[in-house]
Amino acid sequence: QVQLVESGGGLVQPGGSLRLSCAASGGIFRAYDMGWYRQAPGKQRELVAVIFGGGSTNYVDSVKGRFTISRDNAKNLVYLQMNSLKPEDTAVYYCNARNRFEMYWGQGTQVTVSS
């Protein structure tokens, strides 16, 4: 059983930056692909970024060039650096861990981009 705890959300002005963190416990961290999802009010949850166990990454087109996902396997942490934030980035952001057999979610952290 893997537990995921997100932190780092908050209120930021357009153009600002935030860094989200996700602390994982209870499993072999490097064996999981780690992702960040988000869900805005009235919308479906969408994959924002993923970092695979080997370190390669993928991003949704809307955040390419602005967001960076990274992981620290020694500390069981995954990060999402978000720059040049836009109001449309406002959502609850969820950390996700998955491998071939199982998938886990964090409780989510709110990100609000507003002036």
Q: Residue 65's pLDDT is what?
A: 97
| Distance in angstroms (rounded) separating the CA atoms of residues 16 and 83 | 6
Residue 26 has pLDDT above 90, yes or no: no
**What kind and span of H or E run contains 35?**
strand 33-39
**Number of C-alpha atoms within 13 angstroms, CB side, residue 11?**
2
Would you state the pLDDT for residue 48?
A: 98
Rounded distance, CA 96 to CA 11, Å? 22
Q: What pLDDT is attached to residue 7?
A: 97
Q: What is the dihedral of CA 46, 34, 6, 24, to 10 degrees?
A: 150
pLDDT band at 10, cuts 50/70/90? very high
Q: What is the 3-state secondary structure (H, E, C) of 15-34?
A: CCCEEEEEEEECCCHHHCEE
> Count of alpha carbons within 13 Å of 53, Cβ hemisphere only?
10
Give per-residue pLDDT as tens, 49-70: 999 988 999 999 999 999 999 9
Q: For the chain, give the mean pLDDT.
A: 96
